[in-house]
Structure 1
Amino acid sequence: MKYSPLFLAISMTVPFAHADSNSIEVIEVTGSYFNDYKVDEAKGAMRTDASLLETAQSVTVIPRTIVEEQLATTLGEVLTNDASLSAGSKQRNREVFNLRGFELSSSTGYLRDGHQHWSHYQQPIETLEAVEVIKGPSSILYGQSGPGGLVNMVTKKPTARNLFTIGADTDQEGSTRFTLDAGGALNDEESLRYRANLVKQDVTYQREYQNGDQRERDRFLGALVVDYDVSDDLLLRVHYDYTNDKAGLDTGAWLSEDGELIGDRKTIRDMSWAFTDIDVENYGADINYNINDNWRVAIGYNKQTFERQRFESAPRRTDDFVADGEYESRPYDRFDDWQFTTKFIDFIGEFTFAGVEHQLLIGANSLDYYYGQLRFSDTPKIHYTSGQNEPAKPNINYKDDDTLSSSEYDYYGIYLQDLITINDNWQVSFGGRYDKQNKENADNESFSPKFGVLYHPSDQATIYYSYTEGFEPQSSETLINDTDLNNGMKLKAAESKQSEIGIKWQLADERLLLSGAIFDISKTGKLLSEDITHPVLRTSTTQAGEQRHKGFELAAQGAITDKLFIMSSLINIDATFEEDKLYQGNTPIDVPEWSAALWSRYEVTDKLALNAGAFYEGARFANNDNTIEKDGYTRIDIGATYQVDINEHQLNLRFNINNLLDKKYLIGGGVSNVTASDGIGFRVAAQLVF
């Protein structure tokens, strides 16, 4: 059975039938009702306490409740709830996403509590309270960032209330995850508080290597946050977390010229001995100080170290490869060391001047970046034919070659933003940022403006217009990649601009938020890299003159009644290379024209709730030539939660079925690294709250 975008659009826009505020019936809340789907603020969007109705920008906040209902274990499973995000390649145990059709960079596309966050791995979502999707260029507040926007991961914070929750879940493959979430006060005055998370996860995937072994993953997470009220006006917060994540490699499936999988959806072309082993540490501190009744200052520091060993079998297809044919592997071992050090200081003032109210932000932030790599690849090629015995793992180690290749840079920016409230109906926001990057052969300076005007026809509605710009310096003045066809090509900085018109409207006694936006984004200078079949070279990179994405979004989030809750969204994107030597008029990889998402909860009783979701993604191209297309699909998920009271404790039992209809479809990635869907799967979980 096929579903069109209209199917989900109708589901999403049903609440518009109650748009006449005079006809809204005020519902008296009884029973177990609580509105945990709707969020009224996204601090990452403005870096202040402005509400979503005071934010001239499209923002989606995915709350912890939905993460738990879906038993999500990766950031990708969480972001599926916003149709403006689509999945890219998932090769090598990491996730790539496109926001409004533009790929989010591992180094500039993600934030954690407002800090730029290196995201070349699967994020530990067990530490998160919410995920904010901030759409459109956001360089004014965060510096280097892409045109699609940013994903800000909001972590759980210490609480004075004693909290102790243990959980366990498993799936049909035998995967297990054990979690602990604890918090509370450490002294009688409750001035010292903590929040701790522990996770042990072992995953067995549906996809398997050609020797019959299923791919596996082993992950450990430990995290601790401590708050200390030094005084009534001064808060000190320190944090630390450590992640170890080891998994077998899966660089994705291969497509034929007809866009069909070569072989079945379970087959992995990598060897079973290929793996990636990641160690990530984050530690830092934040200070919040109320200077007086009108001004406060926030200071933040975070150090992130990311070390990875990646032992590759590096499979390479040939142009005429068939399912049982011969292909080549070129094994190598490498060690990567990334180090991110971020700092910021924000002064936030709320005052009246010249007869109008101001919410003024003056701040600065910086990033120190280092990357080093060791690599050993002096090993014979492997020629392998499907059905043969798997070749032995080569006896090589990255330590055999001490030739270190490295790069480093630092950048800083100063910014100003003012939200001016003229009267009850009108607000204006504007600001600007100056950025400077210091890097050998790649120094850059930029200025990024921002402007918005908001009209409030009532206390529950906002109509806005905004203009923003973004800036992304290239890694060097020329392309440096000795396995690329165009190695040494001169590079220009990438710049982006967006105009957006939108509306936000709270209905049903402010329990339901409806929003819509029309956007027009242009980007110049984007690097486009595609895999090629060549005896020595692996990719071909070009730089687009201009890429333009136009479209609209609709969303509904919150409670329709005291029993029914929804989070739904719909997006249409017209994406083209408007000025490009090779791809003029074509559509970029993995940008569907239509996407939609719907997740819902219906509370049958105070103890029993049912969930249902539908996720649609339209047809997408697997190459920039637009000769290979991946079909659209709709995935249906369902679930249920049952609460059992045990003495004074609460036991939550959950059962979910993913891909209920066992649809076979292709997710993100190109012709040599596409992600094939899993079949029908279930997950069960138990969570005991003390």
Structure 2
Amino acid sequence: MSIRNFAVSAIALAISQAFAPAACADDAPADTTMTEVVITGARSANANRSSVAGFTDMPLLLTPASVTVLSRERMQELNIRSTTDAAKFDASISDAYNAVGYAEQFSIRGFKLNNASSYRKDGLAISGDTQIPLENKEAIEVLKGLAGLQSGLAAPGGIVNYITKRPTDTALRSVTVEASERGTLLGHVDLGGRFGDSRFGYRINAAGERLRSYIKGADGHRNFVSAAFDWQISPQALLQIDGDYQKKSQLSAPGFQLINNVTLPNVAADTMLNDQPWAKPVETESSNLGARFLYQFNSDWNATVSANRHSFKRDDYTAFPYGCGAQDLYPGFCANGDYDVYDYRSLGEAKRPQALQAMVQGKFATGAFQHAATFGYSYFKNSERWGDYVYDWAGVSNIYRPVAVAPSTGVTGAASERRNDHERAVFVQDVVGLTDQLKLHAGVRHAQVERNEAGVEPSDQGFLLPNVSLVFSPKANVSAYASWAKGLEHGGIAPMQTTNENRALSASVSKQIELGVKADVHKDLSLAMAVFQIRQGLEYTDAANTFVRNGQRQHRGLEMTAQGKVARDLNIAFTAMALDTEQSGTGQAAMDGKRVTNVPKFKSSVYAEYALPQVAGLKVNANVQYASRKAFDPENTTFVPGYSVVNMGASYSAKFGATAAVFRAQVYNVTNKFYWRDVTPDLGGYLFPGAERTVKLSAQLDF
């Protein structure tokens, strides 16, 4: 059965059960008693806990890492509908070739995330090559820094983990509708509860969206459906299964290059370069099928087995702007705004990552020392398919005066498997209570990484990835930690038009040290600060137009966060990062000692929400985001100015009989300021403007 058919059938089953509770109850024997629930898969709405930094759900206060958690309730309050929306509220996350209509792509601590390994669903790797739906997500967890022990292969900046919504113990019926001024419309239904036999639970989410971007013509649509079930097999055993399916179609919006490859273009933020009559939307389909089994042997020992199968397909079409043939300039647009248009088509792209993880966890004592140990095995496999693409020169257009050109007559090739990856790992971690105030977190993962690539000798390497941390808690609400770790990442893939195009570099190891302090000032206010240093090999396209790893990039930074209630009616969320980056060891004077591209030295976000005591249910909010200037190119010859953006909004909660309603209004970029939000070095370097002023209205009804 396909994922799509599974999800649709599951929805029909759950809805029929959800709205017929009386019939189910009547069919049950009169003497039926409820089974005691000992194991539970439900996740607390409290965002002060996370498992992303280790293998056990634990308080963030005691986690020896910089972690943020965005709960479902928080996402609703902030009108967050995508990871792009969520990233605006964390200063450590930035756009990294995040083109409208294409894949959402980000960096953490200045390191671009790897689409094949840095995005996780319930801890297991999924592809990040499309917009990851949030309708069925209970929380977004972000681990900043190396995740070698926790995840094996992952970019050194960190990982983004999406927690799936699970069945609720009480009936949940929620509907959200949303509209923005440019015509984007969203409808979302969330249903949850237990069947007549309370051992079985369900959670259904379905959404449809008409997409109208702030960029003229970058329109599309998206449909999503998901189902999650659980079965309390016994008081000690719980089985969870889930499936989801998304189909998205949207015309993508390419970025801009420098005029004469020197100066920033002067354009409106809504300018569309992919505006040829023959332009087609990028078509993507993605799905997941997941399962998790939890068993509690006794009060101290338990086992968990998790698996997920992800599928991703894409047909990519773009009237792609690159270079200026009239001035023999590649990259760069002509002095008068002309640029070369290429007809780009890549059909049948597909990725199918499969992941499995098994863990046994328990507590024991050796003399005066208390231990919380984890022993595990993980397996990851990913197959990538693509065909020969079309990338043909089609003509010349202009950023100020668009010109229609004829499409190419080229034909794409049939897709076939071009690359597959395997990662097998065993890991162990022990959290040792040395004293009542001091804990040692020590662990290691051995990862065996195999890569097979068409036309290239296969590689098979083993890596040891240790992680050691000390956590000192002088008071119950204060902790300080020091950690050292190694991380592992697959080598980057050579971009289009390089001499080694589509070839992947060998895996690389990174190293990190981090010091941090955390405090829960009171139950509703938490503070955290961390300083870190991460070093990794530098990858770039050299003067011979070959993609290489040579030299080193070093990122040293300071992160600060404050979140919670500072007064009875005032909530705040503050996040800031100061980051110093440096390239070295390349042997090229133009690059050594220079800053890494697309990384601001300082970035911050401040959010405040005030509940007006004079009007019950009414809240107003404001958010200010700031980023300092960023280097456009590795030689630092061009810098893109910093920016600040102001957002404002309000919400009103009311009750209509048994129905609870929340009405929200948000105005983004209140001053309608133009700014360059993304300055990617990919494909010769592109700039993406931020959104113009946008008004968004939504209503959430809980029955």
Give TM-score scaled by structure 2 length. 0.86
Instruction: Classify 1:480/1:587 alpha carbon distance in 2 versus 1 (closer, same or farther; 3 Å).
Output: closer
Inter-CA distance 370–326: structure 2 relative to 1 (3 Å threshold): closer
Kindly indicate whether the alpha-carbon contact (under 8 Å) linking 1:62 and 1:81 is maintained by their aligned counterparts in 2: no
1:66 aligned to 2:74?
yes
**Does the 8 A contact of 1:166 with 1:179 survive in 2?**
yes
Q: Quick check: 2:370–2:433 contact (8 Å CA) kept in 1?
A: yes
Q: How does 1:442-457 map to 2 (within 5 A)?
A: 442-457=459-474
Relative distance call for 1:225 and 1:488 in structure 2 (3 A) is: closer
**Paired residues for 1:507-656 under 5 Å:** 507-508=521-522, 510-524=523-537, 526-529=538-541, 541-582=547-588, 583-605=591-613, 606-656=616-666
Aligned residue number for residue 217 of structure 1: 220
| Contact 2:491 2:504 survives alignment (8 Å) | no
- The 1:201–1:393 alpha-carbon spacing in structure 2 relative to 1, beyond 3 Å, is farther
In the alignment, is the contact (CA less than 8 A) between 1:37 and 1:566 conserved in 2? no
Give the drift of 1:39: 2.4
Aligned to 1:263: 267
Does structure 1 conserve the Cα–Cα contact (< 8 Å) formed by 2:385 and 2:415? no
Equivalent in 173, 180, 183 of residue 174 of structure 1: 183
Q: Deviations over 1:577-624 (max 9, x none)?
A: 122234211111111110111122211144111111111111101111
Deviation by residue 1:130-149 (Cα, 9 ceiling, x = unmatched): 11111111111211112111
Aligned to 1:362: 375
1:342 aligned partner: 355
Question: 2:156 is matched with which residue: 147, 166, 173?
Answer: 147
Gaps of 5+ in 2: 1-43, 453-457
Q: What residue in structure 2 maps to residue 156 of structure 1? A: 165
The aligned amino acid for 1:116 is A
Residue 317 of structure 1 and its aligned partner are, at CA, apart by 2.2
Greater mean alpha carbon deviation, residues 248-257 or residues 446-455: 248-257
Deviation, 1:84, is: 0.9
> Aligned pair in 2 of structure 1 residues 393, 364: CA closer, same or farther (>3 Å)?
same
Q: Does structure 1 residue 80 correspond to structure 2 residue 82?
A: no
Task: For structure 1, list consecutive stretches of 5 or more residues without a partner in the other structure.
Answer: 1-35, 209-213
Q: Does the 8 Å CA contact 1:367/1:410 hold for their aligned counterparts?
A: yes
Residues 452-491 of structure 1: matches in 2 within 5 Å? 452-474=469-491, 483-485=497-499, 491=505
SS at match of 2:599: coil
Which secondary structure does the structure 1 equivalent of 2:567 belong to?
coil
Counterpart-to-counterpart distance in 2, 1:175 and 1:355: 61
SS at match of 2:225: strand
SS of 1:206's partner is coil
- 1:312-352 per-position Cα deviation (integer Å, ceiling 9, x unaligned): 32222213514542523233342201100000001110222
Instruction: Give the distance between the partners of 1:611 and 1:194, measured in 2 at CA.
Output: 34
Deviations 1:206-251 (A, max 9, x none): 212xxxxx21021011011101100111000000000101100212
- The whole-number CA distance in structure 1 between the counterparts of 2:344 and 2:144 is 40
Contact kept, 8 Å, 1:332 with 1:396, in 2: the verdict is: no
The 8 Å contact of residues 135 and 148 in structure 1, kept in 2 or not, is answered as yes
Q: Check if 1:276 corresponds to 2:282.
A: yes
SS at structure 1 position matched to 2:85? helix
Deviation at 1:544, TM superposition (A): 3.3
Matches for 1:288-437 after TM superposition, within 5 Å: 288-318=294-324, 319=329, 321-322=334-335, 324-377=337-390, 381-385=394-398, 387=401, 390-391=404-405, 398=412, 401-402=413-414, 404=416, 406-437=418-449
Number of the residue aligned with 1:506: 520
* Cα separation, partners in 2 of 1:661 and 1:170, compared to 1, 3 Å: same
Distance 1:299 1:326 in 2: 53
Shift in alpha-carbon separation, 1:489–1:402, aligned structure 2, 3 A:
closer
Highest relative contact order (Cα 8 Å, sep 6+), 1 or 2?
A: 1
Instruction: Report if the CA contact (8 A) 1:100-1:148 is conserved.
Output: yes
Offset at residue 388 of structure 1 (A)? 5.5
* Alpha-carbon distance in 2 for matches of 1:568, 1:385: 42
**What is the distance in 2 between the residues matched to 1:550 and 1:380?**
42
The 1-side partners of 2:82 and 2:502 are apart by: 37
Residue 254 (structure 1) aligned to one of 241, 257, 261: 257
Structure 1 distance, partners of 2:496, 2:643, is: 38
Q: 3-state SS of the aligned residue for 2:387? A: strand
Native 8 Å contact 2:394 2:405 kept in 1: no
Task: Name which of 688, 692, 699 aligns with 1:679.
Answer: 692
The residue type equivalent to 1:325 in the other structure is D
| Alpha-carbon distance change, 351 to 50 in structure 1, aligned in 2, over 3 angstroms | farther
- The 3 A distance-change label for structure 1 pair 308 and 444 is same
Q: Secondary structure at 1:439's aligned position in 2?
A: strand
Asked if 2 retains the 8 angstrom alpha-carbon contact of 1:142 and 1:365, the reply is: no
Q: Secondary structure at the match of 1:145?
A: coil
Judge conservation of contact 1:158–1:183 (CA < 8 Å) in 2. Answer: yes
Q: Distance in 1 between matches of 2:656 and 2:406?
A: 53
Please tell me whether the aligned partners of residues 140 and 433 of structure 1 are also in contact (alpha carbons under 8 angstroms).
yes
1:392 deviates by 5.1
Post-superposition CA distance 1:240-274 (Å, at most 9, x none): 00010110021212333554225332222223413
Q: SS of the residue aligned with 1:560?
A: strand
Opposite residue 65 of structure 2, the aligned amino acid is Q
Distance 1:629 1:380 in 2: 30
Q: Secondary structure at the match of 1:293?
A: coil
**Hey, what's the Cα distance between the residues in 2 that align with 1:408 and 1:341?**
11
In percent, how many aligned pairs have the same letter?
22
Aligned amino acid, residue 66 of structure 1: R
- SS of structure 2 residue aligned to 1:253: coil
The equivalent of 1:103 in structure 2 is 112
Q: Deviations over 1:359-391 (max 9, x none)?
A: 111111111110111234286633335646523
Q: Is the 8 A contact 1:37 1:557 kept in 2?
A: no
Q: Is the 8 A contact 2:113 2:157 kept in 1?
A: yes
TM-score for both structures, normalised by structure 1: 0.88
Secondary structure at the aligned position of 2:206 is classed as strand
Deviation of 1:80 (Å): 1.5
Distance 2:102 2:460 in 1: 33
8 A contact 1:529–1:540 mirrored in 2: yes
Report the more deviating stretch, 271-280 or 224-233.
271-280
Structure 2 partner of 1:126: 135
CA contact (8 A) 2:430 2:442 kept: yes
Q: Give 1:126 deviation, angstroms.
A: 1.8
